[in-house]
Structure 1
Amino acid sequence: MAKKVDKPIRDHIIGREEIRATLLQQLRETNRCRDILRMSPHAFVELCAKLRATGHVKDTIHVTVEEQVARFLYIIGHNVKNRTILFFFHRSGETISRNFHAVLRVAISLEEEVKVPIADQPRFRGRKEWPTQNVLAACGFDMRFTYALAGWEGTASDSKVLKSALSRDDRLKIPRDKFYLGDARFMLKHALITPYRGVRYHLKEFVGREPENAYELFNLRHSSLRNMIERSFGVLKKRFAIIAGGTEPYYDVEVMVDIVLACIILHNFLMGVDPGQHLISQVDRELQNNNPEATNEEREEVNEDYRRGAALRDNMAAQMWADYQIER
């Protein structure tokens, strides 16, 4: 009895290669790249060149750097399993996994202006049914992250994570006579200025109603400036669905820590070559329409550092209010 053969094996191989070649060409040359990889074709090409230049991600006989990077970006951009990538690229699960981790390691090595230490914490519990982590990050007014500490368990308080960031060997360094802005979940310090508690703070609370005293004016301006970190995290999560937190991740905790750091580093890279104004505008609309979340405030620890921070904040608030009264 004759056995039916649809296509010779070689034809199947050639067909898969043509599919991959066509897909990569579209990513390099069309705007489909933005939907599939969350960046422009120019940014994708530049990123591939940057990764190739490290010498740690290389073209092989069967797989180009572009294909490896495209698969990696699709996974973190859409939070999909390897079997989905297998369907599109017609590669084995082992190849997809190996290439993913290779690109992940190299992406983390691209850190330049952002410090990305990893906390040594064994437990990862949170409010969700799966392990979560608490990530501490700082950013500049260009929406690029300047520091990120990943790896703390999801239930760790923000103040506890901050204390670790300020005391570890690869610590968060604050320039002399400078300070960061933090929300009310942090302890007030001379180098970390938080808003006044029990006073209007969120931008929506000031719509149609001007500040009535120095404390409210300070909180309004504090919120306006600190809103930059909310925008930065918003764009980060829009680009990379794998860290958006809506579903249980497909990778274990250790890998997810690396993925968070890689996404932050890639975000910084893209803010230089492809900021994604459409994403920024979308995040701005959401922040404007969303109701402010309740903040779990910890009891203030009154010490010398707190007193210095309180004096600095009071002086700034008084000067702001005096100038505001003159300008009105």
Structure 2
Amino acid sequence: MSNINVDEVEEQMEEDEFEEELHETIRFLLVEFRGSLYTFTKHIANMNCERVHRPLNRRPITSRGYNYIHKILKEDPTNFREIYRMYPDVFLKLNNILREKTHLQDTRYICIEEMLAVFLLVVGHNTRYCLIRKTFERSRYNTSQNFNKVLKALNSIAADMMVKPGSAVPEKIRESTRFYPYFKDCIGAIDGTHIPATVFGRDTNSYRNRHGKISQNVLAACNFDLEFIYVLSGWEGSAHDSNVLTDALSRNNGLKVTQGYFFNATSLFNFFLFFRIIYSIHYCGVRYHLQDFTGQGRHPEDAKELFNLRHTSLRNVTERLFGIFKSRFKLFKTAPPFKYTTQTEIVLACAGLHNFLRKECRSDEFPVETEIEVPPSSSEQVYKDDNFGELFDTQEQQRTNTNAWRDAIANQMWSDYDHIVNKS
């Protein structure tokens, strides 16, 4: 009986000692917490706006980026334009548009001007984050966040920045007897271009274009003032232009054309008359490219060659536009180091930005770097679709009518041209 009482007493003593140690530990932690809280409160009270001291493993946040961008805005405008692809007054106007029309806002330490500058350095010079973070003294995370915030903001207003086709005859056509009145209903040109892309995984081969390079196929419609009307990005480099156009026409917010007007296009879009949108297409198997008519004694010899010469002179606007676009935004010269969805979003954002700059800096153009395009092989020009035979049968009459319409224009054009030549 005594042995049992002794055991119970020892167990009770052990429990009392454990509870006492537990209470002592809790009391110690509370004292330490109160001390840390007091130190932190005192630190916040004495903290100035210049620097926030953080643990050594994190980059301190400073106001250097804010001071830098506002300083350079007041310096040489030409130097600013070379760095940020626009003049300071245009930069500030774009900054105000983003501030008023999007959800982009200043943060505690980063202003919208700095965010926009980061975005323009990346797309304008293909600058990497590691260099930008040194300029603004930001972490890689903050630099990436600033870029993506501006990208999202620009994409939210990109549709509004696209040019709306008007009913008036374009000035380039109206003031030239070579084009008027034959192309008076032409509102622009449509074509595709390939932009280098970064793609990983098993789908890589589907993004390989006919030159063997990884790219995305971008469709663009533009007017004769070198402004984008519509842009569709994201298609694989191996996709045929006709498939991309199918997608553009079938979307709810896709490419729309007023009845009675048409775009200038190549023969690659010859299969889209069934969309009730007429495309002016050149004659195949006849001289077409501008260099084919360059040199002495290489003038057009019949109505088809004359039509092709003037047709390609109008369609050349897309090549000029793509040249200026890629020269202004050098990010598109090489494969961007972003995920593919971000790459497609950048194209749309820069297209809207290009239109903005065309309006604000119409005389401010970057030199066009010409690119040699190898024409696709005959096998690549074949439109592949399981329902192609049915579509062809049902639209054969419309195709015939369109060809007759083109022949009438070509014959009238040749008649006027022949009359002028004989008169002279």
TM over 0.5: yes
**Aligned to 1:69, what secondary structure does the other structure show?**
helix
1:141-152 superposed matches below 5 A: 141-152=224-235
Cα pair distance change 1:112/1:273, threshold 3 Å = same
CA distance in 1, matches of 2:397, 2:150: 46
The count of residues paired between Structure 1 and Structure 2 equals 306
Cα pair distance change 1:28/1:153, threshold 3 Å = farther
CA distance in 1, matches of 2:355, 2:240: 26
Cα pair distance change 1:175/1:19, threshold 3 Å = closer
Deviation readout 1:143-189 (Å, 9 max, x if unpaired)? 11001111111110001111121222222111111111112322153
Q: CA deviation at 1:305?
A: 3.8
Q: TM-score scaled to structure 1, two decimals?
A: 0.84
Higher relative contact order, structure no. (Cα contacts within 8 Å, ≥ 6 residues apart): 1
2:350 to 263, 279, 292: 263
Where structure 2 has 5 or more consecutive residues not aligned to the other structure, the ranges are 1-49, 54-58, 164-201
Q: Which residue of 2 aligns with 1:104?
A: 151
Deviation readout 1:60-119 (Å, 9 max, x if unpaired)? 22111100000011111111221121111110111111111111011011221528xxxx
Cα pair distance change 1:129/1:20, threshold 3 Å = farther
CA distance in 1, matches of 2:134, 2:144: 14
**Aligned to 1:185, what secondary structure does the other structure show?**
helix
Counterpart contact for 1:184–1:295, Cα < 8 Å: no
Q: Which residue of 1 aligns with 2:170?
A: none
Q: Which residue of 2 aligns with 1:22?
A: 68
**Aligned to 2:232, what secondary structure does the other structure show?**
strand
CA distance in 2, matches of 1:140, 1:102: 30
Cα pair distance change 1:194/1:228, threshold 3 Å = same
Counterpart contact for 1:159–1:185, Cα < 8 Å: yes
Counting aligned pairs with the same residue, the percent is 38
1:232 aligns with 2:321: yes
Q: Which residue of 1 aligns with 2:207?
A: 125
Counterpart contact for 2:233–2:344, Cα < 8 Å: yes
Q: Which moved more, 1:184-193 or 1:295-304?
A: 295-304
Q: CA deviation at 1:28?
A: 5.0
Cα pair distance change 1:55/1:193, threshold 3 Å = closer
1:33-72 superposed matches below 5 A: 33-72=80-119
Cα pair distance change 1:83/1:218, threshold 3 Å = same
Counterpart contact for 1:104–1:262, Cα < 8 Å: yes
**Aligned to 2:316, what secondary structure does the other structure show?**
helix
Q: Which residue of 2 aligns with 1:5?
A: none
Counterpart contact for 1:48–1:66, Cα < 8 Å: yes
**Aligned to 2:357, what secondary structure does the other structure show?**
helix
Cα pair distance change 1:203/1:307, threshold 3 Å = same
Q: CA deviation at 1:295?
A: 4.0
Where structure 1 has 5 or more consecutive residues not aligned to the other structure, the ranges are 1-8, 116-121
Q: Which residue of 2 aligns with 1:222?
A: 311
Q: Which residue of 1 aligns with 2:162?
A: 114
CA distance in 1, matches of 2:311, 2:69: 47
Q: Which moved more, 1:210-219 or 1:159-168?
A: 159-168
Q: Which residue of 2 aligns with 1:202?
A: 289
Counterpart contact for 1:29–1:41, Cα < 8 Å: no
1:184 to 252, 267, 278: 267
Cα pair distance change 1:170/1:291, threshold 3 Å = closer
Cα pair distance change 1:292/1:79, threshold 3 Å = closer
2:253 to 170, 175, 199: 170
1:87-98 superposed matches below 5 A: 87-98=134-145
Q: Which moved more, 1:105-114 or 1:228-237?
A: 105-114
Counterpart contact for 1:28–1:44, Cα < 8 Å: no
RMSD: 2.7
1:307 aligns with 2:389: no
2:375 to 273, 279, 294: 294
Counterpart contact for 1:138–1:147, Cα < 8 Å: yes
Q: CA deviation at 1:29?
A: 4.0
CA distance in 2, matches of 1:72, 1:250: 14
CA distance in 2, matches of 1:150, 1:19: 33
Q: CA deviation at 1:25?
A: 2.3
The structure with more radius of gyration: 2
Deviation readout 1:264-303 (Å, 9 max, x if unpaired)? 0100111000135442xx32xx55xx66632445247753
The letter of the residue matching 1:25 is: K
Counterpart contact for 1:192–1:309, Cα < 8 Å: no
2:217 to 134, 137, 141: 134
CA distance in 1, matches of 2:260, 2:69: 52
Q: CA deviation at 1:316?
A: 1.0
CA distance in 2, matches of 1:243, 1:206: 31
Counterpart contact for 2:69–2:117, Cα < 8 Å: no
The letter of the residue matching 2:375 is: A
**Aligned to 2:107, what secondary structure does the other structure show?**
coil
CA distance in 1, matches of 2:52, 2:160: 46
